[in-house]
Amino acid sequence: MSETQKRKSDHIEIVSKKEVSHSVTTWLEHVTLVHQAVPEVNFSEIDTSTTFLGKKLSAPIIISAMTGGTEEAAEINARLASAAEKLGIAMGVGSQRAGIENPRLRRTYEVVREVAPNAFIIANLGAPQLVRGYGVREAREAIEMVEADAIAIHLNPLQESVQPGGDLDFKGVTSKIGRLVAELEVPVIAKETGAGMSMEAALALGRVGIAAIDVAGCGGTSWAAVEYYRAEEAGDEELMKLGKAFWNWGIPTAASIVEVKAVFRKPIVASGGIRTGIDAAKSIALGASAVGLAAPLLKAALISEEEVIRQLRSFILELKTAMFLTGAGNIEELKRVPVVLTGCLREWLETRGIDVNSYARRRAGLEPRVV
Ligand SMILES: Cc1cc2nc3c(=O)[nH]c(=O)nc-3n(C[C@H](O)[C@H](O)[C@H](O)COP(=O)(O)O)c2cc1C
């Protein structure tokens, strides 16, 4: 097993067996959707479909990038992909570096397209690889491997910081991403991995023409935590200490969505700690176009494909119920329902120079009116 393969299998093992969540939350509990006692919507007619980067999804949900590169990963990918195909949602594969380094591992990713011929599939490569020399050729290889509809470039400086031998050179990363945007035939998504995107990052990525930003904020899986356990296994006390210190580092998902939305006009994916359809409804009302989930679906996929489908169906039912109770008949209407932002989320946004009241009113497309 190569070093990359060992890392992939460690990730699955640790995320499925250890407590790797942040102990800070997404702050979505500081976002309240306003209940409507007169919703004027027929539940049975609620339409959760949406268009994401030019392709129709039955619901605004992405199975976030997770894996590939090992036998177990191939089985997990097949289960997730089959669920995505059946439910009409999108799916990202994990970093395809393993498949590029070793062509024999390509089929652990290719299986996704075989099982999901129609789903929106997102290829994945890491920003550190771009800095180290990957470019348009490797990105095209990753895209072709899964006949991807888009490619995500993951930004994981926190994980690299706590990983043994991590890549700590991110200099020039923005222009490398820009080069992919200019030359690739599919949209390029910039994706964090659980520490969130700031408005500064969104501005830099927006300037090089990125097609979408996946905020992957704080409040779900902590990569400092995952790497803490890998350091523990390796008996590396220094990295264990670092992992513990940075366990909760990052921008909570709710704050990250608003930061990015304040400066970036293209689609935003809300992810990092999205656990219920209510989280999804809140994220969309805050400004996201779709949401992503990783760890819960990994655990479900380790049980069965049916378990993945069962969990996603219940998530969609929660989303629909939140739409019903806010009077939103479709996703475009959900994007404009009123939201109330309170507590530390409000303080954070004010500190960052975002006028919370006008943000909320603008989202709802209304200034208060009287009748
Ligand atoms: C086992 C596992 C492996 C992951 N591998 C990748 C990866 O290769 N590329 C990537 O962009 N994100 C990767 N992620 C990060 C997720 O896509 C996601 O951004 C993060 O886990 C936060 O979402 P969550 O709180 O729903 O788990 C991985 C997550 C998990 C749980």
From 28-37, 159-168, 177-186, 360-369, the region with the lowest mean pLDDT: 360-369
Q: Residue 359 has what pLDDT?
A: 85
- The CA distances from residue 164 to 81, 126, 161, 203, 224, in Å, are 31, 16, 8, 31, 12
pLDDT band at 345 (very low <50, low <70, confident <90, very high): very high
Q: Residue 361 has what pLDDT?
A: 81
User: If you average pLDDT over every residue of the chain, what do you get?
Assistant: 96
Q: What does the pLDDT average to over 7-26? A: 96
Q: CATH number of the domain at 193, please.
A: 3.20.20.70
Tell me the three state secondary structure of residue 56.
Answer: strand
pLDDT in tens, 224-245: 999 999 999 999 999 999 999 9
Q: What does the pLDDT average to over 190-208? A: 98
Q: Name the residue range of residue 176's domain.
A: 3-364
Closest by CA to 67, choosing from 93, 89, 91, is 93
Whether ligand 1 lies within 6 angstroms of the CB of 230 is answered as no
pLDDT at 178 exceeding the cut of 60: yes
pTM above 0.85, yes or no: yes
Residue 370 lies in a domain: no
Q: Residue 46 has what pLDDT?
A: 98
Candidates 6, 27, 64, 95: which one to mutate for ligand 1, based on the most atoms within 8 Å of Cβ?
A: 64
pLDDT at 367 exceeding the cut of 80: no
Q: Residue 251 has what pLDDT?
A: 98
From 2-11, 96-105, 342-351, the region with the lowest mean pLDDT: 2-11
Atom index in ligand 1 nearest the CA of residue 221 equals 25
Residue 369 lies in a domain: no
Whether ligand 1 lies within 6 angstroms of the CB of 64 is answered as yes
Closest by CA to 251, choosing from 26, 39, 72, is 26
Nearest CA to ligand 1 atom 7: 94
Nearest CA to ligand 1 atom 12: 65
Q: What does the pLDDT average to over 153-175? A: 96
Closest by CA to 218, choosing from 163, 170, 260, 255, is 255
Residue 71 tokens read as 């036998």
pLDDT band at 128 (very low <50, low <70, confident <90, very high): very high
Looking at the chain, the whole-number percentage of residues with pLDDT higher than 70 is: 98
Nearest CA to ligand 1 atom 10: 65
Query: Domain total for the chain?
Result: 1
pLDDT in tens, 300-320: 999 999 999 999 999 999 999
Atom index in ligand 1 nearest the CA of residue 193 equals 19
Looking at the chain, the whole-number percentage of residues with pLDDT higher than 90 is: 93
Atom index in ligand 1 nearest the CA of residue 274 equals 26
- CA 344 to CA 346: how far, in whole Å? 5
Residues 257, 286: contact at Cβ < 8 Å? yes
Q: Residue 369 has what pLDDT?
A: 53
Q: At what angle do helices 343-351 and 356-364 cross, to 10 degrees?
A: 110
Residue 243 lies in a domain: yes
Q: Residue 366 has what pLDDT?
A: 62
